[in-house]
Amino acid sequence: MLTRIPARAPTLARARGFASSSLAGKERLVILGSGWGGYNLARKADKSLYDVTVISPNSYFSFTPFLASTCVGTLDFMCATEPVRGIKKVNYGQGWAESVDLEKRTVHVVPALPAQHKTEKDIPDELGGSAELHAAFSPGDAYDVPYDKLVVATGCRSASFGTPGVIEHAHFLKDVREARAIRYRLLQNLEIATEPHITPEEKKRLLSVRVVGGGPTGVEFAAELCDFVTQDVYRIYPHLKNQVSITLYDLAPGILQSFDASLRSYAERKFKRSGVEVRGNTKIVAVGKDYLELASSGGEDPERVPYGLLVWNTGLQANPFIEALPGLDKDPKSKSLRVDPHLRVCDADGKPLNGVFAIGDNATPNDGHRLPATAQVASQMAGYMAKLLKAAGRGEEIDKARPFKWKDHGSMVFIGDYRAMVDRSKAKDEGPRARMSGFVAWVVWRSYYMTLAMGWRNKILIPVYWALAFFFGRDVTNF
């Protein structure tokens, strides 16, 4: 199942501390992923019982609720990230988990580091050099990481649903790198639109922002962008006054379908007043470099709509790593791993594997009850897993532990102009079943997410940046 490991791989593993557990007398806990599940588990795992190693291509955790704010300068990018190496007593390897050997209890890892070029002729083809020579000088080779307990938390990737052109031309919003790319494109379009040689048609295209997906991510991005445009862009670029357009598309009749109907109606009225156009019952059939093709009724040709910036937030799909894992029980719809009530991964016969777990978007209960792919679910699974592993490390039997049970705490979403919505009408915890909208809900939204910021650095920085944006406006420096 595994590719042959080069001779120097064991040395690399020892240098990174991956094999230190045998010396420390602890079990080796390997966590794949640094998202909501993996990062939280790495923080909460008992380091006195486990030698913890995190394997992830990202050396940071992205605080997704704040990504939309970073796109427009309400917050700095560092406010939406936490370093994995900032977790005490945790080893870290920046790499992709390629496969798992269940018999040898090892994870096969491919480094996810920038290429090291030794001479100019070794630069890859896209920069005018030789890709073969470039590959020969890659930093490090694949290596194995042994484990006693393995937790799969690699998450999902943004879904394009096979729509042609999405991967090539659209921007996703699931990671801080993607948020930075959106910000760069947005500010670049504003500057190009001010050039004297730009035609009115080209200016209109550059200033047209299309957001596909009416869920919380798409709505919050549209709301942040609308505030940025009305409060800062028109002040800094007065010659562009009332020329920026924001359109939100969704296959559903409207936006925020998981929220209460009254709250959905409130959000759509708010967007209409703010100038954000909501187009429900709309299917995107293709994406070009600077246009969308919308399906037309009656067999007519697709409607072509130009754009300057396209942000795509239509949902999630299985991670390629999960899809490639053989011999495991997977949910036919989400393609995630089926887990027993204690989050142990099940084999093809439905039997739980010893010492292999899955949390977050990678886990679907084998009782057939699918959980939403949200940060709330992943965080609760991480907390449960930390307690379960602590008990197991002390010799308690996993089968005798209480099973995982998700508690729905409700949903929140920012809709712009110091307004938000809180929906706890379907909550299953001990709090009130309430719905809230407006300024008070916005205060709750900001307060809650500020307290969720993992480290003290961000707990201090976030209100500072909010204050700076309020008193001095958002930063429009592009670099």
**What are the tens digits of pLDDT across the range 7-41?**
333 334 443 445 444 556 899 999 999 999 999 99
| DSSP β-ladder status, 60-62 and 81-83 | antiparallel
Length of the chain, in residues? 479
pLDDT in tens, 255-307: 999 999 999 999 999 999 999 999 999 999 999 999 999 997 766 788 999 99
pLDDT at 318: 86
**E strands, 379-479, in order:** 411-414, 420-423, 435-438
Q: Which residues lie below 8 Å from residue 61, measured CB to CB, with a gap of 6+? A: 34, 35, 36, 39, 81, 82, 83, 84, 454
Q: Which helix (H) or strand (E) holds 96?
A: strand 90-101
d(Cα 295, Cα 212) in Å, to the nearest integer? 14
The answer to whether residue 124 scores a pLDDT higher than 80 is: no
The total of other beta-carbon atoms located within 10 Å of residue 387's CB is 13
pLDDT at 296: 78
pLDDT at 6: 36
- Residues paired with 212 in a beta bridge: 249, 312
Mean pLDDT of the chain: 88
The answer to whether residue 120 scores a pLDDT higher than 60 is: no
Q: Which residues lie below 8 Å from residue 417, measured CB to CB, with a gap of 6+? A: 223, 226, 227, 270, 274
First CA to last CA distance, the chain: 44
pLDDT in tens, 172-195: 999 999 999 999 999 999 999 999
Q: Are 374 and 382 in contact (CB under 8 A)?
A: no
Q: Which helix (H) or strand (E) holds 5?
A: none
The order of strands in the sheet holding 276-279 is 276-279, 245-249, 208-212, 309-312
pLDDT in tens, 459-476: 999 999 999 999 999 999
Residue among 408, 413, 405, 407 at smallest CA distance from 448: 413
pLDDT at 13: 41
Span 333-344, mean pLDDT?
94
The order of strands in the sheet holding 420-423 is 411-414, 420-423, 435-438
pLDDT in tens, 403-456: 999 999 889 999 999 999 999 887 776 667 789 999 999 999 999 998 887 788
pLDDT at 86: 93
Report how far apart, in Å, the C-alpha atoms of 321 and of each of 152, 243, 324 are.
Answer: 10, 44, 5
